[in-house]
Structure 1
Amino acid sequence: MSALPGRRQGVGLLGWFALCFVAAGIGALASVDAAAFYARLAQPAWAPPAAVFGPVWTTLYALMAIAAWLVWRRAGWRDAHRALSLFVIQLAVNALWSWLFFVWHLGAPAFVGTLALWGLIAATLIAFWRKSRLAGVLLVPYLAWVSLATALTWAVWQANPGLLGLA
């Protein structure tokens, strides 16, 4: 464990939560009309109901914040800059996806975005695992959810060429 004073650790935890929920907020801005748009889309039978997304994402963002804090607390920014930089990049890609899909209705870029996000999460998970096993474990639900989101993005894009474009 790090020798960081308790107050600094607390401020760090709040900082990671703030960063994660700013990213969530940027995605949420794009998702203001998401429920109505989502309801218009042809979806596979296995698609989760729209009401599931908010609670799941809130939980995932909280887990991400705690994971990043654990890595930062254990190794600090200097010794974990690669892992924490990957984390920040994947947050940005995560926020971008909502804009691609719900605002700009770009199926192909949204799908490519989920593939990129999945790869970034996997790389972040491995990098976090090397610094703190618990931090890596906390990202497993996120990777699982984005795996589902990737398959769902593909299926919805293919089923809705008029709304999301086929090319």
Structure 2
Amino acid sequence: MRNNWLIAACCIALPMATGAIAAYVTIQNVQFWYPVLRKPIFTPPNAVFAPVWTILYVLMGISLYLVLREPPSPKRRLALVLFGIQLFFNFWWSILFFRFHSIGIALLDIILLWLFIILMIRQFYRLSNKAANLQWPYLAWVSFASVLNFSIWYLN
């Protein structure tokens, strides 16, 4: 039982740490570069992003834990690979957008992220409906973020 809690905590810590590292690398640009960009009217206040991402990273971690609880199989291995790939694109989006100011490349990254989230959800369904369903808010937010990224790219 204690081991399950440790594994669950590690599963949650992985996406949280990924987000924290990306945030640390990009924080100055969020404060000084991002505010001067032209943004669409539907851009949320900056204060919205941290709580939303925190919730999404926790849901990702819980979902990962549910998949890890499944017996080892090629389906589970593929689900874990897809989880890792989407987390990779998630991490790099912030760095491309905020650190390198590469709005267009970040747009390509977020499109790939969106695609791999869909593939991950599909594969998670083959193992755990709960794990897959926990990812729908993430897909919804990344869909919104994709439109926001495109709009900022277009306006600037």
Common fold by TM > 0.5:
yes
Distance (Å, rounded) in 2 between the aligned partners of 1:154 and 1:114: 10
Preserved contact between residue 71 and residue 80 of structure 1 (Cα < 8 Å): yes
Q: Does 1:92 pair with 2:88? A: yes
Normalised by the length of structure 2, the TM-score is 0.93
**Aligned partner letter, 2:23:** A
In the other structure, the counterpart of 2:131 is 135
**Aligned partner letter, 2:117:** I
In the other structure, the counterpart of 1:22 is 17
Aligned residue pairs, count: 155
Using the TM superposition, give the Cα deviation of residue 37 of structure 1 relative to its aligned residue in structure 2, in angstroms.
Answer: 2.3
Preserved contact between residue 93 and residue 113 of structure 1 (Cα < 8 Å): yes
Using the TM superposition, give the Cα deviation of residue 86 of structure 1 relative to its aligned residue in structure 2, in angstroms.
Answer: 0.7
Using the TM superposition, give the Cα deviation of residue 75 of structure 1 relative to its aligned residue in structure 2, in angstroms.
Answer: 3.0
Distance (Å, rounded) in 2 between the aligned partners of 1:77 and 1:139: 21
State how 1:1-167 maps to structure 2 within 5 Å: 6-33=1-28, 34-76=30-72, 80-160=76-156
Percent of matched pairs sharing the same residue: 38
Preserved contact between residue 75 and residue 123 of structure 2 (Cα < 8 Å): no
**Aligned partner letter, 1:82:** L
Bigger mean CA deviation after superposition, 75-84 or 118-127: 75-84
Distance (Å, rounded) in 1 between the aligned partners of 2:98 and 2:126: 35
Distance (Å, rounded) in 2 between the aligned partners of 1:64 and 1:86: 12
Structure number with larger C-alpha Rg: 1
Using the TM superposition, give the Cα deviation of residue 7 of structure 1 relative to its aligned residue in structure 2, in angstroms.
Answer: 2.5
Normalised by the length of structure 1, the TM-score is 0.88
Using the TM superposition, give the Cα deviation of residue 31 of structure 1 relative to its aligned residue in structure 2, in angstroms.
Answer: 2.6
Preserved contact between residue 111 and residue 146 of structure 2 (Cα < 8 Å): yes
Gaps spanning 5+ residues in structure 1: where? Answer: 1-5, 161-167
RMSD over equivalenced CA pairs, Å: 1.4
Using the TM superposition, give the Cα deviation of residue 79 of structure 1 relative to its aligned residue in structure 2, in angstroms.
Answer: 5.3
Preserved contact between residue 83 and residue 120 of structure 2 (Cα < 8 Å): yes
